[in-house]
Homo-oligomer: A and B are copies of this chain.
Amino acid sequence: MNVDELLNELQNTWYKTIPLSEFMQVQPLSFQESSFQESSFQNLGFQQQTLTVTAPIKPNINLHQTMFAGSIYTLATLTGWGMMWLQQQLQGFSGDIVLADATIRYLAPITEAPTALVTWPDVSLANLATGDKAKVKLEVALHCKGKLCATFSGLYFSIAKTSRIKIK
């Protein structure tokens, strides 16, 4: 399965199982993997994986004609959940993903479809292979018109199931 197919499957999973995500028209935009290599430390190269997700303003409007606080939070929550789900596919594990707690700060009104971005903190989900759970703290940044409008921090757990597909 390639990245575009995975993002389609992520959206289908949301829409089939979480009606609110379909009403909000939440949509994965991209999953990117960037390689970094410190020239003076040849062995310290690392990869940064990012997921971006969006949602239009119209179904998510509030009485100030900006994005509703509940929609902003839900978009951020699903972005983090989506990254957990993608990592399970990429690392070849399967687990039930749940959010334990979260904090959000609203910094500026969102007046058009924002971009929610999460970076994977390079954590292994190998615990899932032994029937244990994996615990990952994810930070999501929401930008609108080039400006940081909200920050979200969520603690996610994934509880072991059997292993699944691998990305090619």
- Tell me, in angstroms, the Cα distance from A70 to B152 when the chains sit together: 13
Q: Does A71 contact B (CB under 8 A)?
A: yes
Interface membership of chain A positions 95-120, coded 1 if the CB is closer than 8 angstroms to chain B and 0 otherwise: 01011111111100000000000000
Q: Does A68 contact B (CB under 8 A)?
A: yes
Q: How many copies does the complex hold?
A: 2
Structural contact, A71 and B20, CB atoms closer than 8 A:
yes
Interface membership of chain A positions 12-55, coded 1 if the CB is closer than 8 angstroms to chain B and 0 otherwise: 01000111110110000000000000000000000000000000
Structural contact, A74 and B64, CB atoms closer than 8 A:
no
**What's the tally of chain A residues with a CB closer than 8 Å to chain B?**
32
Q: Does A62 contact B (CB under 8 A)?
A: yes
Within 8 A of B (CB), among A52-100: 59-64, 68-71, 73-74, 77-78, 96, 98-100
Structural contact, A102 and B100, CB atoms closer than 8 A:
no
Closest to A59 in B: B19
- Tell me, in angstroms, the Cα distance from A105 to B100 when the chains sit together: 6
Closest to A150 in B: B101
Closest to A96 in B: B64
Given A101-B106, A103-B101, are A70 and B78 neighbors across the interface (CB < 8 Å)? yes
- Tell me, in angstroms, the Cα distance from A73 to B77 when the chains sit together: 10
Contact among B68, B73, B77 with A18 in the assembled complex (CB-CB below 8 Å): B68
Contact among B19, B98, B103 with A106 in the assembled complex (CB-CB below 8 Å): B98
Q: Which residues of B contact A77 (CB under 8 A)?
A: 69-70, 73
